Amino acid sequence: MSATAPPPAGGHASERIAVAAERRWAIVVAVIIALLVLMMVVTGLHWASMPPSRVETIDLKTLHVSGEFVEGNLGTTLSPDGRVTVRLIAQQYSFEPQCIVVPADTPVTFRGTSTDTVHGFVVGRTNANTMLIPGFVATFTTTFRQTGEQLMPCHEYCGTGHEAMWAKVQVLPPDEFRQKAAQGERLSCVPR
Ligand code: CUA
């Protein structure tokens, strides 16, 4: 071992004990590392093969012809229990509807998806911000505090027309919104 003075009497025994203890701890540490790596591999494979909770999928091929996202069902609805839902789809390079009406000071639930590639949107400087991914329904609920018009640009690069892809959001006073919604149609502010 060392080139200096030989170990004192009994030194060999204590060295053996020290080496054995080090080896035991090396084995313990190696087992812990192996367990952690195994956990990473198992959980990684498990989550890769299972969608996380609350993920809603939707069939792209029937999106336009049946179900929740047909053209006549897009826009804003006020259900009898007072819940406001906005349904929209994104495609290269526009949103449908192009102008969305929502009430202020009321929780608004957005439900959106994409027909072609990954898009996204953010409403003005609010926290209404999500990605729209083909095959999945994006959902979030937010409350707009200020009335007025906001821009809603696509914020995921989706192709050469990306920068021209945006819509508008009109935030109305709650009473005005309820009057408009009383007619029972899908609301939007797209000029007719
Ligand atoms: Cu759609 Cu960028």
Tell me how far apart the alpha carbons of residues 170 and 78 are, in angstroms, rounded to a whole number: 15
Which residues surround ligand 1 with Cβ inside 6 Å?
90, 93, 119, 154, 156-158, 162, 165
- Quote the ligand 1 centre to 30 CA distance (angstroms): 48
Residue 14 clears pLDDT 80, i.e. is over it: yes
Residue 148 clears pLDDT 50, i.e. is over it: yes
pTM value > 0.85 = no
Residue 91 clears pLDDT 90, i.e. is over it: yes
Condensed to tens digits (0 to 9), the pLDDT of residues 29-51 reads: 999 999 999 999 999 898 777 76
Residue 24 clears pLDDT 90, i.e. is over it: yes
- Quote the ligand 1 centre to 92 CA distance (angstroms): 7
Residue nearest to atom 1 of ligand 1 (CA): 119
Give residue 153's pLDDT band: very low, low, confident or very high (50, 70, 90): very high
pLDDT for position 1: 47
Average pLDDT over residues 116-135: 92
- 155 and 124 in contact (C-beta within 8 Å)? no
Q: Among the atoms of ligand 1, which is closest to the Cα of residue 162? A: 2
**Average pLDDT of the chain, as a whole number:** 89
Tell me how far apart the alpha carbons of residues 190 and 192 are, in angstroms, rounded to a whole number: 6
- Quote the ligand 1 centre to 27 CA distance (angstroms): 53
Give residue 6's pLDDT band: very low, low, confident or very high (50, 70, 90): low
What ranges make up the beta strands (E) of 45-106? 56-57, 75-78, 84-91, 94-96, 99-103
- Quote the ligand 1 centre to 144 CA distance (angstroms): 23
